[in-house]
Structure 1
Amino acid sequence: MSKLVSVIGDVCKSNLGMDATSATEIAKAVDVIVNSAANTILDERYDVALNTNTKGPSRLVSFAKKYKKPSLSVHVSTGK
């Protein structure tokens, strides 16, 4: 548990909503990314759901590729 750190970000924003300095510092230390961000409102507006559930994971992958350190990425889905 001492190696597990929760990072608050926003998958709807570039660089996950972090300033460049924070993003760089986090990227230096991260080995595993677990994404559980999702919009689970089933009647949400299409553009909102698409931005969170489709473009969000894409932004996370772009973040990870930019820093190239994470060796594992896991995506958790609601399965609904």
Structure 2
Amino acid sequence: MEPLRIDAGELTADEIIEAMRDGRRVVVTADLFGDERELTLRHDGETFYCDTPTRLHKHTEEAEMRACIEKMGYAREE
């Protein structure tokens, strides 16, 4: 399945998580430290991953992933 490519703020956290739950990787273009960078959000059925240029975050709960997506500005506000 082709990754879903978005710009930060383009989709809501619900839309991002729904795509991840459907098995899609979500590649987000975001401003990180003054540069445009791509990061990948994914879900393997048990764990949510946020793979940034500087580190890999893991979340076991959907609520944790949602909070990370919102805190980092990857989603638009609902």
Pairwise same-fold verdict (TM > 0.5)? no
Structure showing the higher strand proportion among its residues: 2
- Structure number with greater CO (CA < 8 Å, separation at least 6) is 1
Larger radius of gyration: 1
For normalisation by structure 2, the TM-score amounts to: 0.31
Structure showing the higher helix proportion among its residues: 1
